[in-house]
Chain A
Amino acid sequence: QVQLVESGGGVVQPGRSLRLSCAASGFSFSTYAMHWVRQAPGKGLEWVAVIWYDERNKYYGDSVKGRFTISRDKSKNTLYLQMDSLRVEDTAAYYCARDRDSSGHLFLDHWGQGTLVTVSS
């Protein structure tokens, strides 16, 4: 069965960096687009980024563009989110999710359990 397991969350000071990982199993990782979605405490879902199956294209939400980088390693079946210049408002649970399409234009049919990132001094 499809499994997505995030890791790498924690407490970090403003301005510092953090890298999240999402280990995928149970499906052909290299044929699906993958997303990061976040949810601040008590708030709604916010789309963060998507990467195509072949890494050819990556797109970002306005609030993280230029600071976050999405990437993937097909040899390790792992999705990453490199978060630089972190801000207090980046505090959230971060979910990785699989897109039903290889180019990331459809719906998110499987989600991980999330990893919590807290940005605080």
Chain B
Amino acid sequence: QSVLTQPPSVSGAPGQRVTISCTGSSSNIGAGYDVHWYQQLPGTAPKLVIYVNSNRPSGVPDRFSGSKSGTSASLAITGLQADDEADYYCQSYDSSLRHVFGTGTKVTVL
């Protein structure tokens, strides 16, 4: 039962910019909890691509960026490449002492 809502899919041509939204509520993102983003390539485990709203782990290209405002957050991918095609999930913490994931977004490179 995801409490963070994401669009099911987004798409873009190579080189374009796509954004993925993550909408929460006053008990999670709106309560000030940080948002993190994961990339899941087909058949593999999730991989952290953005932590604490806008930080990139070592090795993640600067084409990936994140932001947070109010009860929402977003992930942007610029200069879209074929190997960016994957599922992306946002994650935050909830005042009910649970971690929550977004519903997931499939990014398709046209």
Contact = CB atoms under 8 A, between A and B. Distances in A.
Interface of A: 35, 37, 44-47, 50, 59, 61-63, 95, 100, 104-109, 111-114
B48 A108 contact: yes
Given A59-B98, A106-B34, A44 B48 contact: no
Contacts of A104: 99
A35 to B, nearest CB: 7
A46 B101 contact: yes
Given A47-B100, A105-B93, A107-B36, A95 B45 contact: yes
Given A50-B99, A59-B98, A112-B45, A44 B1 contact: no
Given A95-B46, A109-B57, A112-B45, A44 B98 contact: no
A26 to B, nearest CB: 15
B23 interface: no
Given A106-B36, A107-B36, 4 more contacts: A46-B1, A47-B98, A108-B36, A108-B38
A25 B76 CA distance: 33
Chain B interface size, as a band, is 20 to 34
A76 to B, nearest CB: 22
B47 A44 contact: no
Contact of B45 (A35, A46, A62, A113): A113
B64 interface: no
Contacts of B1: 46, 62-63
12 contacts: A44-B101, A44-B103, A45-B104, A50-B99, A59-B98, A62-B1, A62-B98, A63-B1, A95-B46, A107-B36, A108-B91, A111-B47
A100 B57 CA distance: 12
Nearest to A44: B104
A107 B101 contact: no
